[in-house]
A and B are shown apart, each in its own frame.
Chain A
Amino acid sequence: MSGAEFLLWVRGPAFDMAMAIFLFGLLLRFLEIFLLGRKTDLSVARGNAMAGGVRTMFTRFLPADKNSFQRSAFTIVAGYVFHIGLLVALFLFVPHIELIKATVGIGWPGLPTPIVDFFTAMTLIALIAVLFHRLTHPVLKFLSTGEDYLVWAVTFIPLLTGYMAYHHLFFEYAWLLGMHILSVEILLIVFPFTKLMHTFTLFLSRWYQGAMAGHKGVQS
């Protein structure tokens, strides 16, 4: 197989397959969650559950408070860096926007590539730091399962191959781009069946907690 043929395969049938599994899994997982149901709270509300739910959906983007931030500074800072970098690389790189525009129908302006490149490099470094942290911190080492490392790898590799493709490192561009797209396809396939689901379910979780707290009149 030549690089061009490989690229054709990953852009064509492989992408379709990965996207199909991704969407299938996503809907399946959401239905599994929702259909499990939830009892209505019969206690008299002190506050507004819906307001609490919406509030928590957004407030949890920030640390609970200064002290909590200081206690977990590394995790939080590294977490921000790699999440922001990931979002910038994913959503503000023009070729990615073109993909979204072509598949979803909406587009927006991108950033100059050297800026995206900078964020990507930063994210790669942050992810390596995060991995190192996971391998050394007593709690993270203790908690981590194979899935945690798998998820790390399927997140890291698309960034790495994307970075390599942009810089034409080591391989012919068609191969690099193909590997990049393939690694994203692996990410898409793994996504619904791993903790990567948090990307979407975190809003649901925050909603549930926020609503339960809001019902009690607590800002969570």
Chain B
Amino acid sequence: MSTRKPSSSPAPGSVGEYLRAQGISRRGFLKFCTATASMMALSPAFVPRLVEALEKAPRPSVIWLSFQECTGCTESLTRSHAPTVEGLIFDAISLDYHHTLQAASGEAAELAREEAMKENWGKYVLVVDGSIPLGNPGFSTIAGISNVDMLMDTAKGAAAIVSVGTCAAYGGLPQADPNPTGAVSVQDLIKDKPIINVPGCPPIPVVITGVLAHFLAFGLPELDELNRPKVFYGQNIHDRCYRRPFYERGQFAETFDDEGAKKGWCLYKLGCKGPTTYNACATTKWNQGASFPIESGHGCLGCSEPRFWDGGSFYKALSVPTGDLGQTAGYALAAGGAVGIAAGLLARQKKAQAVKDHETVTVNDLHKGEHS
């Protein structure tokens, strides 16, 4: 029995060749491609095209810049689970600079970045995690270079920019009110390059690799109004939530340990932001498809949405206003009372004046001037 030969052999220096060299079987590779295609909602007919494209795609040079971030996004990718194909896809790229993961440090590291840029000018992919402080360049520097300078410099030769995580995509936690560092997102600064936002705090690991796979195979994915790939961020958590029937029936958990919570009822009242959140959590899930936050009994935080930190308490229902209404109401009522009393007294005074001005009407006063 001979092993069925692939229709085409991986091109030299391609992703396919690298994977093969790492001992990934053809079967494993096909499985990954099928899973990725299905996640991207591509029809089965696209699987061979994805396979072919990935096998042929040259290993791209990737420069990964980390600014004001918590390393959660990198952790999400590297620690989520045992080595898998998607992990290796990540490995399969030529990660030329990533200051958390690389061995080199200091000037040597920066030199590597500059070299990679020079060599692959116009072709490398720039991945960014973390937001960029504009308040004071000194708030965050790498090798003495401010984040904004490094980003602007590195972005110049990039083919595309992938903003990984909510901080890079929208500003995230550093930007949360009152935004002490003046943090902004990548797309706030760069307007002349294709930017793919892969938000999430952190993003789902397979979504990160899926976006890279898509980029390698088919180029830029179709993006939504927030520059998120529609294939991964087209689904509304609330619409895909397995607890949705409880919402419809009006069955809600009121606390985290009541009967409703135990029965797995809807978490809307506990602040679930599923209705306004677009992400693949409810379908792709986390930890190799094990579960997602709502399944674990906690409402969605809406972490893939801009300014999700500023939407009031995570435990306040979505319909509840975020401000301090008590104070607002107090001021408004005080003002209304003051103005109302003033207006009312003015009216009373006017009325009293009218009573004073009253001239007794007699039957001889019933005609207008010309008749009198």
Contact = CB atoms under 8 A, between A and B. Distances in A.
Question: Does a CB–CB distance below 8 Å link A and B in the complex?
Answer: yes
Given A4-B307, A35-B348, A25 B336 contact: yes
Interface in A89-144: 94-96, 98-99, 102-103, 109-114
A173 interface: yes
B168 to A, nearest CB: 15
Contacts of B332: 19-24, 27
Interface of A: 2-5, 7-8, 11-13, 15-16, 19-32, 34-37, 94-96, 98-99, 102-103, 109-114, 168, 172-174, 177
Contact of B305 (A13, A29, A174): A174
A31 B340 contact: yes
* Chain B interface main SS type: helix
A195 B329 CA distance: 22
* Chain A interface main SS type: helix
Contact of A12 (B238, B276, B317, B323): B323
Contact of B312 (A4, A11, A168): A11
Contacts of A30: 340
Contacts of A31: 336-337, 340-341, 343-344
Interface stretch (B39-47, B62-70, B247-255): B247-255
B218 interface: no
Given A4-B226, A28-B336, A95-B319, 9 more contacts: A8-B322, A12-B310, A15-B323, A15-B325, A26-B336, A102-B316, A102-B320, A111-B250, A172-B225
A96 B325 contact: no
Interface in B264-307: 268-269, 275-276, 278, 302, 305-307
A165 to B, nearest CB: 9
A15 B343 contact: no
Contacts of A4: 226, 276, 302, 305-308
Contacts of A8: 307, 310-311, 322
Interface string B222-250: 00011000000000101100000001111
B340 A27 contact: yes
B178 to A, nearest CB: 14
A188 to B, nearest CB: 11
A173 B275 contact: yes
A8 B171 CA distance: 15
Contact of A103 (B236, B321, B339): B321
Contacts of A12: 310, 312, 321-323
A29 B318 CA distance: 32
Contact of A2 (B248, B306, B337): B306
Interface in B324-350: 324-325, 328-329, 331-333, 335-337, 339-341, 343-345, 347-348
Contact of B276 (A16, A21, A114, A177): A177
B351 interface: yes
Given A11-B322, A32-B344, A168-B239, A173 B248 contact: no
Nearest to A185: B321
B321 A11 contact: yes
A34 B344 contact: yes
